[in-house]
Structure 1
Amino acid sequence: MSNPKPLKEEAYDMSGARLALTLCVTKAREGSEADLDALEHMFQQLKFESTVKKDPTAQQFQEELEKFQETIDSRKDPVSCAFVVLMAHGEEGVLEGEDGKFVKLDNLFEALNNKNCQALRAKPKVYIVQACRGEQRDSGERVGGEGVTLIKKDRPQTIPTYTDALHIYSTMEGFIAYRHDQKGSYFIQTLTDVFTNQKGPILMLLTEVTRRMAQAELVQEGKPRKANPEIQSTLRKRLYLQ
């Protein structure tokens, strides 16, 4: 039996511009300003050019994403990576705009995929979604103790439409997301702290975010609650922010 080969590490080139767009509904979402402050600090530390729009309507969520895509594609200098932060009330698969209407997350994700945003083709696109995905609440559980045909090399190289994307949700499908009226959302505060102060590939950093959140004891209406983010990745390489 042959010995396993060490995995060759390949990382995304992060030498070009880094762009970030934050769309945040603050209406009836106390603590949002603390999250915006934490994100601003994080993007400054990670050398992202950051744009923020507060209180977008459902239609403006879509319009701002499409405008962001056009801005990226029209730049003269190379772009290495884009972050999109979406913060609002929500249900599974949708966000609620400031006007009370809903926009589909899938439509927002479409704007920057490999088909629709050429400047980000084969480059990392990170979506951070701070929103409820349902009404379920997690009280926690006790634990004991502590067949595709390969294309020949001489064929033109292509890439799937939906690769190089990372979707980071503040909570699991169907569950509520927690936010403190003064301190902000536990997910955003934990993520920005880890991304700013720790080094390593982004999926390793997200494992640390998940560990911290799972360890925390949240209290809502006098009852203990547990929460953890959900991470969906089609990244093809390691992504380093530091």
Structure 2
Amino acid sequence: MSNPQTLEEEVYDMSGARLALTLCVTKAREGSEADLDALESMFQQLGFESTVKRDPTAQQFLEELEKFQQAIDAREDFVSCAFVVLMGHGLEGRLKGEDEKMVKLEDLFQVLNNKNCWALRAKPKVYIVQACRGEQRDPGEPVGGDNLVMISKITTETIPTYTDTLHVYSTVEGHIAYRHKEEGSYFIQTLVDVFMNRRESILELLTEVTRRMAEAELVQEGKPRKVNPEIQSTLRKRLYLQQN
């Protein structure tokens, strides 16, 4: 029989403040406002304090995230988790600001890690990246599959610098991301629908997002295309977003 305390330790405590920051380049990205509207509805339903910054330059991507980190560390109440949504044109490992200059995703990711953000130490930090990661297009294959990476439980008294983080990319390495000029990006719209209407842990939710995207067929320039998100997790516990 399972020990109740053990089960409690395997789930992140979501009783505190939930914070979200969305940095979105709307310039030359038709449909991005539809994504912002969908995300606003999702964060509201899930009980997040949400901040949106439109059209950041490359430098402002970093500056706004650093302000977010400083505000989190300055809070006196308990913080449960943070979501950061990054949307813009991009290449592998980089995002393009409104000024057409590039910022490294790794520089953005490290701002909230266990070393640099005390209030989020051992707390879940979720990055959602809606951007191209290259120019490749996936026509699809007759047979496919998926992998689920299991995260081992940490039992030591210290914690690694890069745990408790989830990176969710709209597409796999080297490939483009698709965005409808009126309806928004298929990735963000699917993610919001799943997150708002299902109650499983976040990795289970993302598996459902991947399933739906993998089953769909997009048409670009008259040719059928396939696309699926990529999920990189160092979460140590199950993360549930729906409020009781």
TM-score (norm 1): 0.92
C-alpha distance after superposition, 1:1-25 (max 9, x if no partner):
xxxx99x641000000000000000
The alpha carbon displacement at 1:26 in A equals 0.1
The corresponding residue for 1:192 is: 192
C-alpha distance after superposition, 1:141-182 (max 9, x if no partner):
1139xxxxxx9x8xx810000000000000000000000000
Letter in 2 for 1:128: I
The corresponding residue for 2:97 is: 97
Map 1:49-128; keep pairs closer than 5 Å: 49-128=49-128
Letter in 1 for 2:69: Q
Structure 2 unaligned residues grouped into runs of 5+: 145-153
- Structure 1 stretches (4+) deviating beyond 2 angstroms? none
C-alpha distance after superposition, 1:25-65 (max 9, x if no partner):
00000000000000000000000000000000000000000
Map 1:175-186; keep pairs closer than 5 Å: 175-186=175-186
Tell me, in whole angstroms, the C-alpha distance in 1 between the residues paired with 2:36 and 2:143.
35
Tell me, in whole angstroms, the C-alpha distance in 2 between the residues paired with 1:30 and 1:222.
19
Tell me, in whole angstroms, the C-alpha distance in 2 between the residues paired with 1:38 and 1:29.
16
Supply the RMSD in Å over aligned alpha carbons. 1.6
Residues matched between the structures, number: 228
Over the matched positions of the two proteins, sequence identity in percent amounts to 80
C-alpha distance after superposition, 1:82-123 (max 9, x if no partner):
000000000000000000000000000010000000000000
Structure 1 unaligned residues grouped into runs of 5+: 145-150
TM-score (norm 2): 0.91
Letter in 1 for 2:51: T
Letter in 2 for 1:231: I
Structure having the higher Rg:
1
Query: What secondary structure, in the 3-state scheme, does the structure 1 residue paired with 2:160 have?
Result: coil
The corresponding residue for 1:15 is: 15
Tell me, in whole angstroms, the C-alpha distance in 2 between the residues paired with 1:142 and 1:167.
28
Tell me, in whole angstroms, the C-alpha distance in 2 between the residues paired with 1:129 and 1:235.
17
Letter in 2 for 1:167: H
